[in-house]
């Protein structure tokens, strides 16, 4: 579920349970229902499953210049593919190992399969003769954080995100 501020600015993606609670408490209103037409039933009420909800009152959001480095964000950036072999990524690897002074940053961390991570250990790529498939960079864009948690974003979100989803 996409949560919008009172000004229709996207805030975050949230669970169905949290969205229903916000709507039932009167803190939010449904902007778009679920395209499948599903309904949540309780003892006394029925509510169409929301896809997009909007807060009733404006919430001030602190500005963050950088996207925080998280496991989910890193996996999303690398599309769950190993930076070394292209297989399914399961772990995170530091290109320049932390034991050798490598930073914990977007530019030094990549998604990695367990096999490559184990083989690389605390070695440099030059010692193994390996190369990265893609140069790691920090993600950017106003709604990048939102897309990390959304998985496959609902097409109804497109007008609110202002990006091709």
β-strands 2-4, 50-55: how paired?
parallel
C-alpha distances in angstroms, 126 versus 58, 123, 131? 52, 8, 8
| DSSP β-ladder status, 109-112 and 91-94 | antiparallel
φ, ψ of residue 159 to 5 degrees: the values are -65, -25
From the list 6, 3, 120, the residue with the least C-alpha distance to 59 is: 6
Low-confidence ranges of the chain (pLDDT < 70): 35, 64-65, 141-155, 158, 162-165
Domains plus CATH for the chain?
2-63+142-161 (no CATH), 71-128 (1.10.30.50)
Which segments within 8-154 are labelled E, that is strand?
A: 10-13, 28-33, 39-41, 46-48, 50-55, 91-94, 109-112
Query: How far apart, in whole angstroms, are the C-alpha atoms of residue 163 and residue 7?
Result: 18
* Angle CA 5–2–29, to nearest 5: 60
Reported pTM: 0.61
């Amino acid at each position: 579920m996409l949560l919008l501020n009172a000004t229709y600015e996207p805030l975050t993606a949230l669970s169905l349970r949290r969205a229903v609670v916000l709507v039932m408490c009167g803190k939010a209103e449904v902007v778009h229902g679920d395209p499948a037409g599903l309904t949540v039933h309780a003892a006394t009420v029925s509510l169409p499953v929301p896809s997009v909800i909007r807060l009733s009152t404006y919430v001030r959001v602190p500005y963050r210049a950088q996207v925080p480095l998280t496991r989910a964000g890193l996996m999303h950036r690398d599309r769950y593919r190993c930076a070394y072999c292209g297989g399914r990524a399961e772990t995170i690897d530091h290109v320049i190992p932390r034991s050798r002074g490598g930073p914990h940053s977007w530019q030094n961390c990549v998604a990695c399969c367990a096999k490559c991570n184990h083989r690389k250990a605390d070695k440099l790529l030059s010692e193994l003769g390996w190369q990265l498939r893609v140069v790691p960079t920090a993600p950017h864009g106003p709604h990048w954080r939102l897309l990390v948690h959304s998985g496959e974003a609902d097409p109804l979100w497109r007008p609110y995100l202002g990006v091709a989803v």
